[in-house]
Amino acid sequence: MHQGQLVFSQLMRHLPLTTFRRCVARYAGEHKVKSFSCLDQYLCMAFAQLTYRESLRDIESSLRAQAAKLYHLGIRGNVSRNTLANANATRDWRIYASFAERLISIARGLYAEEPFGVDLAETVYALDPNYQPIFFYMRSKLVYASEIDEVPTDARYLLVRPEREQEVLESNRWAPRRPHLISRFTDYRKESILLLKID
Residues 125 and 86: beta-carbon distance below 8 Å: no
Can you give the C-alpha Rg of the chain in angstroms?
20
Give dist(CA 162, CA 144) in Å, integer: 17
H/E element holding 95?
Answer: helix 93-110
Mean pLDDT of 173-198: 82
The single-letter code of the amino acid at 122 is: E
Three-state secondary-structure class, residue 112: coil
Q: Out of 28-32, 76-80, 184-188, which region has the weakest mean confidence (pLDDT)?
A: 184-188
Three-state secondary-structure class, residue 182: strand
The whole-number pLDDT of residue 21 equals 95
Q: Right CATH number for 123-198 from 1.10.10, 1.10.3470, 1.10.155, 3.40.190?
A: 3.40.190
**Whole-prediction pTM value?**
0.63
The whole-number pLDDT of residue 78 equals 83
The whole-number pLDDT of residue 85 equals 92
The whole-number pLDDT of residue 189 equals 67
User: How many residues are given for the chain?
Assistant: 199
Residues 81 and 60: beta-carbon distance below 8 Å: yes
